[in-house]
Structure 1
Amino acid sequence: MNVPTRAIRLKRSQVPDGEILCDHCTAKCCHYFALPIDEPTTRKDFDYIRWYLLHERATVFVEDTSWYLLVHTTCKHLRDDHRCGIYETRPQICRDYTTDECEFDDDWCYDQYFETAEQIDEYADGLYGPQFADPNQVDRQTLRRRRSVGLPVVG
């Protein structure tokens, strides 16, 4: 049985001399983008991060004390063979990117990783204490309730 090269997970050191690293990759670098964000220092900052996390395919991570917004989305020019469909006219950021330190065999482990608004709320509560004693109390600064209030039971 002939298994496609990309189906076998190699380490960087196992890629044969003379072969291109990208030939053994599923184009991890083309399935997301991450932008640095300011480290949150106030409740309001954490509320902005909460807003990011309310959007589909958005997460936030911390690596070496730097905070990042991570958007899980695939480049619209990535072809089925995991190659760039606009390679000759690709953006400069793609031209500057090299395989020297790419995430080819990265295990995607971050110092901190937030996927939901509830996770960032809990983290902020750990730093500052609970924002509201009463979950129905409205924060006058953000005009939102701390937690969703259930619908009344009609009997």
Structure 2
Amino acid sequence: MTAPRPKRIPRELVPKGESLCDYCSAKCCRYFALPIDTPENRQDLDFIRWYLLHDRASMFVEGDTWYLLVHTTCKHLQEDNRCGIYETRPQICRDYTTAECEYEDTWVYDQYFETPEQVQDYMDALYGHEYESLRSRKPAALPIA
């Protein structure tokens, strides 16, 4: 049986010699974010809208970089929030440190999109309401009888 994890405490109160990971919910193992090309036109934004039509995906902008954020848990994350393949984990995991990790969960993005409708609103704000979607047009509403 796994010992219960210590209660989450502020980073600066983690006792000397203990790992911040012992107090964490392993947020870094519950998503991945991939930088993408900065959208330059309505069609590029329509592709982003398409990404967000898929479950557990969102987009964010940090500085000048756009990211596709996929909310999915690493298949090797164990119930105690430890890595099940720690000794053979990928290099990206080895390079990641707690020095600038998301333990406090206070990140604020320059822009954040969770729904395709938010991207559509952004497109309309940038380019007007002209419709150039890759998808078929929204059907007209039925008349009210």
Q: Give the counterpart of 1:142 among 113, 134, 138.
A: 134
Superposed, 1:111-126 pairs within 5 Å as 111-126=110-125
Give the superposition deviation at 1:89. 1.1
Number of equivalent positions: 142
Query: 2:127 maps to which residue?
Result: 128
Structure 1 alignment gaps of length 5 or more: 133-138
Aligned partner of 1:83 in structure 2 is 82
Alignment TM-score, normalising by the size of structure 2: 0.88
1:65 and 2:64 matched: yes
Return closer, same or farther for 1:114/1:125 CA change in 2, 3 Å cut-off.
same
For residue 17 of structure 1, what is the aligned residue in structure 2?
16
- Asked if 1 retains the 8 angstrom alpha-carbon contact of 2:32 and 2:72, the reply is yes
- Residue identity (%): 62
User: Given residue 129 of structure 1, which amino acid in structure 2 is its aligned partner?
Assistant: G
Q: Which residue of 2 aligns with 1:97?
A: 96
Alpha-carbon distance between aligned partners in 1 of 2:72 and 2:128, rounded to the nearest angstrom: 34
Residue 61 of structure 1 aligns to a residue whose secondary structure is strand
1:132-154 deviation per Cα after TM superposition (whole angstroms, max 9, x unaligned) = 4xxxxxx4x72521x4555x57x
SS in 2 for 1:81: coil
CA distance in 2, matches of 1:23, 1:52: 34
Decide which moves more: 67-76 or 98-107: 98-107
- Secondary structure at 1:29 match in 2: helix
| Structure 1 length-normalised TM | 0.83
Retained in 1: the 8 A contact 2:57–2:114?
yes
The CA deviation string for residues 89-145 of structure 1, in whole angstroms up to 9 with x for no partner, is 11111111111111111313211110111100100110111124xxxxxx4x72521
State the partner residue of 1:40. 39
Q: Which residue of 2 aligns with 1:108?
A: 107
Measured in 2, the distance between the counterparts of 1:79 and 1:149 equals 49
1:56 corresponds in structure 2 to 55
Aligned equivalents of 1:58, 1:43: Cα separation in 2 = 20
The 4+ residue runs of structure 1 with deviation greater than 3 A are 147-150
Aligned-pair distance for 1:10? 1.9
RMSD: 2.0
Distance 1:117 1:82 in 2: 32
**Cα contact 2:5–2:23 (8 A) shared by 1:** no
How big is the shift at 1:70? 0.3
Return the letter of the residue paired with 2:64. T
